[in-house]
Chain A
Amino acid sequence: MVLEFKEAGIYCPAADAYIDPWRPVPRALITHGHSDHARPGHGTYLATEAAAPVIRHRLGDIRIETTRYGVEHRMGDATISFHPAGHVPGSAQIRVEVGGEVWVASGDYKTIDDGLSEPFEPVRCHTFITESTFGLPIYDWPAQDLLARDLNAWWAGCVAEGKRAVLGVYALGKAQRIMRLLDPSIGPILTHGAVEATNKVLRGQGLILPDTIHVTDGVDAKSHPNAIVLAPPSALGSAWMKRFGTVSTGFASGWMRLRGVRRRRAADRGFVVSDHADWKGLNWAIAQTGAERVFVTHGYTAQFSKWLSEQGYEAGIVETEFGGESLDDVEEAEVTAP
């Protein structure tokens, strides 16, 4: 097999390298910088140029090499290349070719262009490894312009009512994507330290982000009455929020599609937005690869692989330790950046 599923992660014997391994290994190929994909303790790391700064920022002193999208690397008998996955800036699918047989491990991906990440590019392959975080037909994302309209309407409504809009978002990817959808004429964007740290890294690598104000002492409801505040979900409802006076809270996640989750979050508003593909996106992406065989990792693996089998694919389930945008994360409000 071109890729094998081992205790430590997805392994390529021809290259003697692992893709997003969850146990320490000598050589790791990393799809992107989220903590369930880029873990500490590996001998060497290979990632895209755009993904590396966040990985370095998170993991500190590691041996990391970088590559550009589409550049072929020869490792042993394998040819390895990275291709845009559209998940977060720098995220990649990893293409592995051995003796003419092509496998693609897609990591996390989404098929719509978020205006920030390099848009997803389908890669022809024989075997495709896909996530299934939102692999049920109930997940259907609204178009990005509708999302922008709803976000800005909520924010403007908050300003009109004399409230601060506080939005819970993941610090890497989602936060920056949403910043670029916000209408700067409504007011300033304030950021929690976790979000601002990621902003700094991404700006440092040349990404253009709107102006933000890091929330420090003296930044509060009085100084910025019209502000929207972007903070990791864990900060919602914490003492940190007191400075903003009367607030309306929002939460941005694919899980907000479900009324039950929306209500349990007890946020005032839920916005349906995800950096993972929805049902249509997953099916489209898989069809585009032309793959005959599909392995399904984290998410609704059983349901999605059964569906794929009925569609004529040779489908299997692979147990991994990827979390993705798991419901646990939404519930526990975990954050990835410091």
Chain B
Amino acid sequence: MKAFAALFTALDQTTRTSVKTAALAEYFSTAPEDDRVWTIALLSGRRPRRAITTTKLREWAAEHAGIPLWLFEACYPVVGDLSETIALVLPEPKTRIEKSLSGWIATLRGLDNAEDDVRKAAILEAWDGLPPIERFVFNKLITGGWRMGVSQKLMTRALAKATGIEEAELTHRLMGDWSPDKVSWDSLIEAPDPTADLSRPYPFYLAYQVDGEPHELGDVSDWLAERKWDGIRGQLILRGGERHLWSRGEELMTDRFPEFAQLVDFLPPGTVMDGEVLAYDREAEAPLSFNRLQPRIGRKTVPKKLLAEAPCILMAYDLLEWQGADLRQTPLVDRRAILQDALGALPPELPIRLSPRVEAETWDDLAKARAISREIGAEGLMLKRLSAPYLAGRKKGDWWKWKVDPLTIDAVMIYAQAGSGRRATLYTDFTFAVWDDNDLVPFTKAYSGLTDAEFREITAWVRKNTTDRFGPVRAVTPHHVFEIAFEGIQASPRHKSGVALRFPRMARWRKDKPLNEANTLEDLNAMLAQYG
């Protein structure tokens, strides 16, 4: 684990991407092959099953450090990370155990079915035999939740550097439902068998927000415009008589959307489509709000009642594989033509639609179409270059999202809470309120949108202006007004204000606005009536 801990330290000690890539590439060229596979797994969010509860870890660590449990618990929010807290409070190691990363993982696996006292002895032995950084890494292996400041993209770039295999190809190889237990370095990276995993998705192509004026993109006829639907992105894979539905976060959602099962009978094997999963009103032929889709996302299986209340469709907009052939290098205009033919022949009862083209002669036409997005339940427009291939990951140039401007409201900050992890010592999570006569009614929380400098400034202010404490939450003097931006608004009986916002964030700190000029509950209700 020395090599892995050294890698961790190297990554942790720099903010420069080039240095991180070099450190990873070096590791992928020199570390034992089993360790490399595990490292890829950990960095792509595939963690070993948690063998020991964090409650036990806390108790054992406090006991071993000779401090009461409450004091350990008092340290945790300061550090913001359980593994690190444990590593920091424990006494200096007594011995030095040399074991590889995969060796330690095997040790932890061996504890899966062991008695508590056996587990405890093994964990204490490890803690006593590892220097602080390895101890931290070891704790991370137990608790999961890796964040090493390395995106999957960066890791893939380093792998490409170490192996000479192309980045896009590696991205594809690393996708899907593989487990570090069952694959080797060879079968995963060097010489994968393409038929081994029928569920393996293609890397999603992600769009950037238009940063200038859309007409700067050139001739409007070079572009396909579609609605930007407000659902969840999904890749539907039909292969070998089975179906698989992947989310953009590489999570299998197949069982959550049983309605797609019937598509296997209507489309040929070897079909892979990219689209948006939407709750959909079949009679009106219109999408339902994201709110209706929400309960379907959270659960592993769907009761009949929910299935009837929130029927879903795939709003398909791209075809990545057809009759078993990878179409990604084919221009969009041709991919879409095949997709249109394939879907046009299907009976309308099936839960799939082709995302319609928004017709336009000029950029102005598109601007007008965009302006009505909210009314038809869309977030804006997507612009896709007709001649472009389907790329992997977020790439500038061929796909753009042209979202409607967010809704905004000026609100008063009334509660503050410290963040976690990197932000554990800053107040970053705030509750905001609007006026209802002379009362401030809380209506949303937000934790993003400010710069680090602004968070430091507001943190210093919160410390000095706390009026009350409820656990980790501090009530503060109502004073600061923030412009809250959000994408949508819904009625919500669960909230005191009666509304729930979608994607709320702090757009601006309105230092120029006095307290009494913040918006009112009436303003909020007017927005609800218009856009809810």
- List, in ascending order, chain B residues with CB within 8 A of A331's CB: 425-426, 456, 459-460
Which residues of chain A are near B425, meaning CB under 8 Å? 258, 260-261, 264, 327, 331
Query: A260 and B459: CB pair below 8 A?
Result: no
Question: Which residues in chain A, 249-288, are within 8 Å of chain B measured between CB atoms?
Answer: 257-264, 266, 268-269
Tell me if B's interface is mostly helix, strand, loop or mixed: helix
Determine if B71 and A260 form an interchain contact, defined as CB atoms under 8 angstroms apart. no
Among B77-85, B345-353, B373-381, the stretch that binds chain A is B77-85
Residues of chain B with a CB closer than 8 A to A257's CB: 88
The 6 closest A-B pairs by CB, nearest first: A138-B88, A331-B456, A303-B74, A137-B89, A138-B75, A260-B422
Interface string of B82-123 (1 = CB under 8 A from A): 001100110000000000000000000000000000000000
B222 to chain A: closest CB distance in Å? Answer: 41
Find the residue from B74, B80, B422, B452 having the highest chain A CB count within 10 A.
B74
A262–B13 CA distance with the chains assembled, in angstroms: 9
CB-based contact A332/B456 at 8 Å: yes
Residue on A with the closest CB to B86? A138
Q: For B529, list chain A residues within 8 Å (CB).
A: none
For B337, list chain A residues within 8 Å (CB). Answer: none
List 6 other contacts, CB 8 Å, given A140-B88, A264-B426, A331-B460. A138-B89, A257-B88, A259-B79, A259-B81, A260-B422, A328-B460
18 A-B pairs with CB atoms under 8 Å apart are A136-B71, A136-B74, A137-B75, A138-B79, A138-B89, A258-B79, A258-B84, A259-B79, A259-B84, A260-B423, A262-B12, A263-B422, A264-B423, A300-B74, A303-B71, A327-B425, A331-B460, A332-B456
**Does A61 make an interface contact (CB < 8 A)?**
no
Most buried by B among A138, A140, A268, A331: A138
Residue from A258, A262, A263, A266 within 8 A of B78 (CB atoms): A258
User: Provided the pairs A136-B75, A137-B65 are in contact, do residues A260 and B460 lie with their beta carbons within 8 angstroms?
Assistant: no
Please determine whether A263 and B12 come into contact, CB atoms closer than 8 angstroms. yes
A306 cross-chain contacts in B, Cβ below 8 A: 70-71
Instruction: Quote the shortest CB–CB distance from A200 to chain B (angstroms).
Output: 31
In the docked arrangement, what's the CA distance between A136 and B68, Å?
12
A269 to B16 Cα, complex, angstroms: 12
Judge whether A307 is part of the interface by a CB distance below 8 angstroms: yes
Question: CA of A257 to CA of B85 in the docked complex: distance in angstroms?
Answer: 11
> Quick one: CB contact mask for B12-34 with A, threshold 8 Å, 1 for yes?
11111000000000000000000
CB distance from B428 to the nearest CB of A (A): 11
Contact indicator per residue, chain A 295-311, by CB within 8 Å of chain B (1) or not (0): 00000100100110010
Complex contacts, B79 vs chain A, CB 8 Å = 138, 258-260
Residues of the B chain whose Cβ atoms lie less than 8 Å from the Cβ of A139:
88
For B421, the chain A residues whose CB sits under 8 A away are: 260
> Is there contact, CB below 8 Å, between A259 and B12?
yes
CB distance from B426 to the nearest CB of A (A): 8
Contacts A136-B74, A303-B74, A328-B460 given; does A268 touch B88 at CB 8 Å? no
Residues in A whose Cβ lies below 8 Å from that of B422 = 260, 263-264
B75 touches A268 (CB 8 A): no
Residues of chain A with a CB closer than 8 A to B14's CB:
268
B15 to chain A: which residues have CB within 8 Å? 266, 268
Residues from chain B with Cβ under 8 Å of A266 in the complex = 15
Residue of A nearest to B16 (CB): A268
Task: List the B side residues contacting A261 at CB < 8 Å.
Answer: 425
Partner of B67, one of A137, A259, A263: A137
B84 / chain A contacts, CB cutoff of 8 Å: 258-259
* Shortest distance from the beta carbon of B467 to any chain A beta carbon, whole Å: 15
Cβ of B345 to closest chain A Cβ, rounded Å: 54
Bound-state CA distance A62–B118 (Å) is 68
Q: Are A138 and B81 closer than 8 Å at their CB atoms?
A: no
Q: Does B149 contact A (CB under 8 A)?
A: yes
Is B424 an interface position by the 8 A CB rule? yes
**Chain B nearest CB, measured from A131 CB (Å):** 16
Least Cβ distance of A263 to chain B in Å? 5
Complexed CA–CA distance, A307 and B81 (Å): 22
Q: Contacts of B81 on A, CB cut-off 8 Å?
A: 259-260
Q: How far is the CA of A257 from the CA of B70 in the complex (A)?
A: 21
Give chain B residues whose Cβ lies under 8 Å from the Cβ of A262. 12
Give the number of chain B interface residues (Cβ < 8 Å).
Answer: 33
- A212-251 to B contact mask, C-beta < 8 Å, 1/0: 0000000000000000000000000000000000000000
How far apart sit A262 and B424, CA to CA, in the bound complex (Å)? 12
The interface residues of chain A lying within 8 Å CB-to-CB of B452 are 264
Which chain B residue shows the least CB distance to A307? B71
Q: A310 with B149: in contact, given A138-B75, A138-B78, A263-B422 (CB under 8 Å)?
A: no
B80 nearest in chain A by CB position? A260
Q: List A contacts of B65 (CB < 8 A).
A: 137
CA distance A264 to B422 in the complex (A): 7
Given contacts A136-B78, A137-B71, A332-B456, is CB(A260)–CB(B88) below 8 Å?
A: no
Residues of B within 8 A of A269 (CB): 13
Per the bound structure, the CA–CA distance linking A156 and B75 in Å amounts to 35
> Which residue of B has the minimal Cβ distance to A139?
B88
Q: With CB as the reference atom, state the residue of chain A lying closest to B62.
A: A137
Rounded to whole Å, the gap between the CB of B102 and the closest CB of chain A is 25
Of all chain A residues, which has the CB nearest B464? Answer: A328
Shortest C-beta distance, A313 to chain B (Å), equals 15
Query: Which chain B residues border A137 with CB–CB below 8 Å?
Result: 65, 67, 71-72, 75, 88-89
Interface centre among B15, B16, B80, B88 (most CB of A within 10 A): B88
Question: Inside 8 A of B149's CB, which chain A residues have their CB?
Answer: 263
Which single residue of chain B is at the shortest CB-CB distance from A154? Answer: B13
* Closest residue of B by beta carbon distance from A259: B84
Q: How far is the CA of A328 from the CA of B425 in the complex (A)?
A: 9
Q: Which residues from chain A contact B75 at a C-beta distance below 8 Å? A: 136-138
User: B424 and A260: CB pair below 8 A?
Assistant: yes
Distance A101 CA – B27 CA, assembled complex (angstroms) = 64
CA–CA, A163 to B126, complex, Å? 38
- Per the bound structure, the CA–CA distance linking A136 and B290 in Å amounts to 46
Residues in chain B near residue A327, CB distance under 8 A = 425
The residues of A that contact B78 with a CB separation of less than 8 Å are 136, 138, 258, 300
Least Cβ distance of B112 to chain A in Å?
29
Chain B's nearest CB lies how many Å from the CB of A306?
Answer: 8
Which residues of chain A come closer than 8 Å to B80, judged between CB atoms?
258, 260
Bound Cα distance A263, B79 (Å): 12
Alpha-carbon distance A303/B73, docked complex (angstroms): 10
A 312-333 contacts with B by CB, 8 A: 327-328, 331-332
Which residues from A are CB-within-8-Å of B423? 260, 264
Mark out the residues of chain A between 107 and 155 whose CB falls within 8 Å of any chain B CB in the assembled complex: 136-140
Counting chain B CB atoms within 10 Å of each CB, which of A137, A310, A328 scores highest? A137
- Of chain B, the residue at the smallest CB distance from A140 is B88
Chain B residues near A303 (CB-CB < 8 A): 71, 74
Whether A332 contacts B460 by the Cβ 8 Å rule is yes
CB distance from A70 to the nearest CB of B (A): 36
Query: How many whole Å from B416's CB to the nearest CB in chain A?
Result: 15
Measured CA separation A268–B78 after assembly (Å)? 22
State in angstroms the CA–CA spacing of A327 and B70 once bound together: 23
Docked pose: A56 CA to B357 CA in angstroms = 76
On chain B, the residues within 8 Å of A328 by CB distance are 456, 459-460, 463
The distance in angstroms between the C-alpha atoms of A329 and B351, with both chains bound, is 58
List the A side residues contacting B67 at CB < 8 Å: 137
Chain A minimum-CB-distance residue to B19: A268
B-side contacts of A140, CB under 8 Å: 88
Q: How far is it, in angstroms, between the C-alpha of A300 and the C-alpha of B89 when the chains are bound?
A: 16
- Contacts of B89 on A, CB cut-off 8 Å? 137-138
Q: Give the CA-CA distance A138 to B84 in the complex, in Å.
A: 9
Question: CA separation between A331 and B428, bound complex, in Å?
Answer: 14
| Shortest CB distance B347–A (Å) | 55
CA distance A268 to B12 in the complex (A): 9
Question: Could you tell me the distance between the alpha carbons of A269 and B12 in the complex, rounded to whole angstroms?
Answer: 9
